[in-house]
Amino acid sequence: MNRFLSLALFLLLTLGGGLLIGATNRPGEWYASLAKPVFNPPDWLFAPVWTALYILIAIVGWRTWRRGPTSKRMQVWWAQLILNFLWMPMFFGLQQMVLALLVILLLLAAIIAFMGLSWGKDRLATWLFAPYVLWTAYAALLNASLIGLN
């Protein structure tokens, strides 16, 4: 497959999937009514941050797929994407903050596992996931704080 076409497909999958899930699982009144920690970011920040992260996730997935479409690294990449796509419906759609925390902690573990597997094979992929692991750790802390406050 043409490398630019495959990159476009990874972008469509991750960015398109993330945007679709975000559009169908809006925070709404329930989230607005929750007590929030002092470090809660403004609502407008989530869309640009996740857009940038989904682009990085797509690039990393594409690089990994090109080097080993059935590799352990690719399997872990798919696992993190599934967990990523599950969190928002779990948190906002079903309003299950505790289950969402479990999902995001599994997501964080999958991201870290992917980075560990990638370090010796594709350092650029590892570094491209650095903002993702930081944001996900922050989101997990935010998720846990929302449980504690509510």
| pLDDT digits 0-9 by tens, 35-86 | 999 999 998 999 999 999 999 999 999 999 999 999 999 999 999 999 999 9
Mean pLDDT, the chain, rounded, equals 96
Domain that holds residue 76: 3-149
The pLDDT confidence band at residue 2, using thresholds 50, 70 and 90, is: confident
**Considering just the CA atoms, what is the radius of gyration of the chain in Å?**
16
CB 37 within 8 A of CB 145: yes
The residue assigned the tokens 């692991």 is 133
Predicted TM-score (pTM) of this structure: 0.95
CB 131 within 8 A of CB 60: no
List the CATH number of the domain containing 88: 1.20.1260.100
Domain count across the chain: 1
